[in-house]
Amino acid sequence: MVAALREVVTAAPFFSPETRWGRPMSVRMTSCGRYGWYSDRRGYRYERRHPSGVAWPPIPASVLEVWSAVSGTTRAPDCCLINFYGEGARMGLHQDRDEADFSFPVVSISLGDAGLFRIGGVERGGRTQSVWLDSGDVLVLGGDARLAYHGVDRIRSGSSSLLKEGGRINLTMRVVE
């Protein structure tokens, strides 16, 4: 899977997005599939092309196999967002709500260093729970949890030797349309 992802990143290199408030995100990202997720001062959205103008590469077969095994649907994902977390990177609590139909799950695959994943309810604020996601862990946000606030508080640098230069890759597949 990592070798296939390296091919994706060669075709559609990682970029550093910014929030709609103009602040840089600490993760670098790219995507594969029919759509890629994008963020800048205009807001959060799906785009059909990488910021360089090239079409997003297809989702690798090994990644689609995981979707097929755990998503509970025969509908293929339209997008696989690839977030790279280096040392010190994090992702604040957010909902995945840029998709048209929330009945489809979001499937997440963790690769490389462990990440402290935090999840709460469907309303901002309130109680949250945290769990370390290790390399190879798969998480499905579906049903009532589909719109739960979630994020990554920190990375345990050096906890995995999967990626030659360290870090964490998180893949999130979703149906966009």
Q: pLDDT tens for residues 37-52?
A: 998 888 889 999 999 9
Each residue of 123-134: b (16+ CB within 10 Å) or e? Answer: eeeeeeeeeebb
Would the pTM count as exceeding 0.85?
yes
Instruction: For residue 47, give both structure tokens.
Output: 């785009």
What's the DSSP call for residue 60?
A: P
Q: pLDDT tens for residues 55-109?
A: 999 999 999 999 999 999 999 999 999 999 999 999 999 999 999 999 999 999 9
Closest residue by Cα to residue 84 from 118, 111, 47, 50 = 111
* Domain positions in the chain: 2-174
Residue 16: CB atoms within 10 A of its CB come to 10
| Residue position matching structure tokens 């729970």 | 129
CATH fold of the domain at 2-174: Jelly Rolls (2.60.120)
d(CA 118, CA 121): 11
